[in-house]
Chains A and B, each alone.
Chain A
């Protein structure tokens, strides 16, 4: 088993190795004399001789087609359509009868271009926009294409709107779609909360691509009242909200991972009422039990997230 110190040394060792090896291979791979590709004669004017449908032209209602922005694909001196679709000289040129027209770089599921190469085109301009941790993120590891989530020619990209974003994410994250339909869930299915409220799809160094520094740091963004620190803390609460909650949805009230009192009894076994099994004998039709019905343990220990009362050690006040 590694110790923490060993792991820290391993950080340096792997970092050095990772820096050294590619530096060598890059020196070998760089070829200053490489021939430049062939671009079209007139840029977009060439493309629109064929591609004049509304779906294509809709790009002019997006930020990609702002001529006054020098960094826009249609900015002065930029490569217009070919900024994203690559050099189209051969694609736009003459072809012999029966000969297949050479392809240009296309995006989407039917593209023959590798996803890494598709993404390289986007990253040429948006590398810094995607944050510092795209490389090696879960989406990068699973070869997700930018175009899997983004629709560049649409006036309104669905993944950028809170009300429509989840449907895009659910195309791949089908299990989360199921969970979002559970009776107690964040308002994702209602279109009132975006997946990006909690997650950074372009990468983060946290587990699960969380937007905050930690799980709790992410939750506190909306639930700041629970941050504390409280005088009387509940130990697992300070460490990980997921200890008790399923944030993607649950069949239990409060998005709890299990029904109380069983959830509480997974940790609490003190002599007396915490260790008593709560069975059907405590139902309303038998001898109603305050430890089972209502809010169960929370009937009295309401302040499970912590208490700031000087006498609140039992999280009751």
Chain B
């Protein structure tokens, strides 16, 4: 045993404790450390919940991501468990087995040597169940009109519209299967490989024009993406290196969409076709590493990655209208290629105990090597525009440098400051070079152990070499327009965070205030300015050892101001876009001392309001009706243990959601747009469930005799 030379007292113990992580095990005599009383896990253990839930009403949005999209009864099965034997371990989890949001996860292996993992997860996306359409899907995928449909110029002239509408739920289901493994063939090496297949199918909305009209189409989705992550990691006390491969392979079983137009159109253009997402592949090799120097005083980290994306899906023809004459396509497919490069380098150092400095440099490049060709433009299968166009393969590179430092004047007071420089170079766009410089400072003050204050502020200026108006005009843009992602911008921002946790009280409170003010001073047309303001507050109270309460509040305000120009040469309208959102959450948990009863309650309310006001030379001042959303959500969970193994469970999920959105209109509101008629959300749904829980294996952990 080591010499007992330490004196008692926290201040004297602490320094030597802190040496301990670096102490070699060989230096400590543990021959008497037999761990005789240690209750090591052995055998199986599991907990399974099985029950039924009744959902009061049908609401697509209530079922969005949860799976409770229809009224009626659902089977609920959840559980988790493990089996441990002689260093081998198996863990499994199941969630929501009876729902379209089910999850199954499994991992097994010999700890520290190898691990195999597998999972299956479903994610339902439910958008609308109030939507209806006249389209049916034929065997070849074409969206067809009802038999005997009489095309019309406007929706209100479609005499068969009302009788032909059929409800069509808009939503997709995502299934994710993943398998993976880790293997440590030697202490310093780890091999890993993961494969994931995501499929997404169902119905989404597409809208597609037919010359001067458009129709919302129920688009059948059938996507599949395979992803591979594999690599080898080397690790020692000072060095860690990871060489990895990432691959993504996307295939679309419906690469085009063909539909019969319900509108009167030019001869030959009764059936139209659009292309959809093409198959694509992406592969990337990366090498990442870090080197720890001088006992942790300095860490150097780097990343180098090189990737290639390819897209070579077959083209659809210029048009399926035999009456439109075109030239031959430049090729049967695009043979598109994008090369990516990412590298970064970071040095973090603490040359003296009170000073910490950091330097980082990062470079990202997207080099689009897609060949440029001449293309005919056929307007929605109706007629040729007579124009020849060239595709524009956009490329960019982006460099980002950061320097920062923090100095601890005392244990209670720290100052930090930083500088960032970012440059983006683009081709084929109005701005070729854009440089952003940002400076910030931060004060952190802990005047007492129960109060932590942090204030941060800074400013950035995004400058451009020049806004090329010639390029803008060639794109048909008003030369006064300054696209907001390319424009000159000056930004000021600040944030204050306070955390209070008095040791003598079972309370903790934290709050934050953030603002950001963007000024696009050189933009006569386009976004002129934007402000963001956020407040949060969290209060938690441990009422007793068995009960706690929390209260949270958040506010998020985003305002934007823009100008437009109906006539080139000057701006003649402006718009104010104000987006407010408030959130209040309250909850409690209670578990009496005997441990038999467990209860929790969470309630959240979210209010959103968007106000849009316009003022134009032609129309004068005008306000659009407020866009509003109100969410009330409550969750109650309770369980009671009848015995050591059996428990009864109860849960209640309540949600009320109301949306006011003037953009959601019926099929006949817009004369030239045939919508799906989806209505704003307005529902009030309860899901009440009861069940039983059974525990396999040991419950209480007792020390070995």
Contact = CB atoms under 8 A, between A and B. Distances in A.
A275 B622 contact: no
5 contacts: A37-B16, A39-B2, A60-B39, A86-B20, A89-B2
A282 to B, nearest CB: 9
B295 A26 contact: yes
Q: How large is the interface on A (under 10, 10 to 19, 20 to 34, 35 or more residues)?
A: 35 or more
A108 to B, nearest CB: 11
B35 A183 contact: no
Interface string B340-372: 101011111111100001111110101010100
Given A25-B351, A103-B10, A294-B663, A284 B669 contact: yes
Interface string B284-295: 101011101111
A77 B40 CA distance: 16
A213 B229 CA distance: 14
B468 interface: no
Nearest to A112: B10
A269 B564 contact: yes
Given A132-B303, A205-B362, A228-B280, A310 B317 contact: yes
B526 A267 contact: yes
A149 interface: no
B101 A192 contact: yes
A279 B624 contact: yes
Interface in B9-58: 9-10, 13-14, 16-23, 25, 27-28, 30, 32-41, 45
Q: Which DSSP category, helix, strand, loop or mixed, fits chain B's interface?
A: strand
B8 A93 contact: yes
Q: Shortest 5 CB-CB distances between A and B: which pairs?
A: A68-B87, A178-B554, A26-B294, A43-B33, A174-B536
A259 to B, nearest CB: 6
B566 interface: yes
A43 B671 contact: no
A159 B317 CA distance: 51
Contacts of A213: 284, 286, 305, 307, 340, 342, 364
A227 B562 contact: no
B21 A227 contact: no
Nearest to A222: B198
A47 to B, nearest CB: 9
B334 interface: yes
B556 A7 contact: no
B165 to A, nearest CB: 16
Contacts of B555: 178
Contact of B610 (A18, A67, A259, A278): A259
Contacts of A120: 18, 21, 296
Interface in B242-269: 242, 248, 250, 252
B136 interface: no
A303 B274 CA distance: 10
B403 interface: yes
B278 interface: yes
Given A228-B278, A308-B315, A310-B317, A22 B350 contact: yes
Contacts of A243: 485
Interface in A68-117: 68-72, 74-75, 77-80, 82, 86-87, 89-91, 93, 95, 99-105, 109-110, 112-113, 117
A262 B378 contact: no
B282 A220 contact: yes
**Interface size range on B against A:** 35 or more
A317 B380 contact: yes
A271 B307 CA distance: 39
Contacts, number: 579
Contacts of B18: 86, 117, 120
B679 interface: no
A296 interface: yes
A7 B19 CA distance: 38
A132 B111 contact: no
Interface string A22-45: 110110011000111111011111
Contacts of A182: 556, 581, 606, 608
Interface stretch (B393-401, B643-651, B687-695): B393-401
Given A14-B359, A67-B40, A213-B284, A262 B406 contact: no
A269 B250 CA distance: 35
Contacts of B2: 36-39, 89
Interface string B629-672: 10100000000000000000000000001010111010001111
Most buried by A among B41, B538, B625: B41
B612 interface: yes
B214 A299 contact: yes
Contact of A90 (B13, B80, B290): B13
B415 interface: no
A42 to B, nearest CB: 5
A169 interface: no
A43 B18 CA distance: 18
Contacts of A181: 554, 581, 583, 585, 604, 606, 631
B610 A252 contact: yes
A302 B208 contact: yes
Most chain-B CB neighbours within 10 Å: which of A1, A60, A99? A60
A298 interface: yes
A64 to B, nearest CB: 10
Given A228-B309, A275-B565, A25 B297 contact: yes
Contacts of A63: 89, 111
Given A26-B294, A105-B17, A128-B233, A214 B342 contact: yes
Nearest to A133: B301
A174 B495 CA distance: 13
A233 B670 contact: no
A147 interface: no
B228 to A, nearest CB: 12
B86 interface: yes
A177 B377 contact: no
B303 A232 contact: no
Contact of B214 (A161, A193, A240, A300): A300
A269 B477 contact: yes
A312 to B, nearest CB: 6
Interface in B195-225: 198, 206-209, 214, 216, 223, 225
B616 interface: yes
Interface string A239-257: 1100100000001110001
* Most chain A CB inside 10 Å of its own CB: which residue of B2, B13, B618: B13
Given A15-B359, A45-B37, A280-B624, A174 B17 contact: no
Contacts of B276: 308
A75 B113 CA distance: 13
A175 B512 contact: yes
Given A231-B334, A259-B663, 6 more contacts: A29-B294, A44-B38, A45-B38, A68-B111, A110-B503, A293-B670
Contact of A174 (B37, B512, B703): B512
B132 interface: no
Given A52-B703, A79-B30, A93-B8, A35 B40 contact: no
A154 interface: no
Contacts of A192: 65-66, 101, 123
Contacts of A280: 614, 622-625
Contact of B392 (A57, A61, A233): A233
B606 A279 contact: no
A87 B344 contact: no
B5 interface: yes
B1 A65 contact: no
A255 B509 CA distance: 31
B59 interface: no
Given A1-B437, A178-B583, A192-B65, A102 B13 contact: yes
Interface in A263-296: 265-271, 275-281, 283-284, 288-290, 292-296
B237 to A, nearest CB: 8
Given A23-B294, A132-B242, A316 B575 contact: no
